[in-house]
Chains A and B, each alone.
With several copies, the nearest count.
Chain A
């Protein structure tokens, strides 16, 4: 079974494992992105994630189809959480199941890379010193 979802709810790893289970499958790879307590050496209290939900879910499904075509993934789960997330929370989950292990790693690796590169989701750092900064904002990280 496949799941492509943008959600405000905590990500449930067990649900993903159930979705990718299959008697024909020998390998499952799961990637979890978690909120860190720092970014580039600066202390952080957490992240806020914004998303364009409709397009984001379509893009997740598109990426899932690619993982099946290119790496033989049998089942794909791509879930990204939005809203305010504390340090340690799971922000994104990629789970795939395949016949054998090399494809499982390939599919999961390309899955998270493509989610990060293409899905309309944005994160804002809540610095411990009180400030906020959108990632990739040229003015926020002294890029201009």
Chain B
């Protein structure tokens, strides 16, 4: 039987504008992958968000990564530093 976990998600730049917030907690089923989480966010983040980068706990992460309770996910739209 799967338990739920809580993850924190950070939004930056125009992703924060689209979400109307800088960070948000989500309660999701244990075993959820990062890719599934992104799919969950996509309606509000926009269709381009599947091409963006993501990190978990300040490390770049791919869609297959299983999420754990307390993870910090960051949504990284195309960067524009410099």
Contacts and interface: CB of A to CB of B under 8 A. Distances in A.
Given A119-B79, A120-B74, A136-B78, A54 B14 contact: no
A135 interface: yes
Label chain B's interface by main secondary structure. Answer: mixed
B82 A112 contact: yes
Given A52-B76, A138-B48, A116 B81 contact: yes
Interface residues of B toward A: which range? 10 to 19
A115 B81 contact: yes
Contacts of B12: 50-52, 120, 122
A51 B81 contact: yes
Given A50-B13, A52-B10, A137-B14, A80 B81 contact: yes
Interface string B44-82: 000010000001001110000000000000101111111
Given A52-B10, A52-B74, A120-B12, A134 B81 contact: no
26 contacts: A49-B81, A51-B81, A55-B58, A55-B60, A58-B59, A92-B81, A92-B82, A115-B81, A116-B81, A118-B79, A119-B79, A120-B12, A120-B74, A121-B79, A121-B81, A121-B82, A122-B79, A123-B80, A123-B82, A134-B13, A134-B17, A137-B13, A137-B17, A138-B48, A139-B14, A140-B14
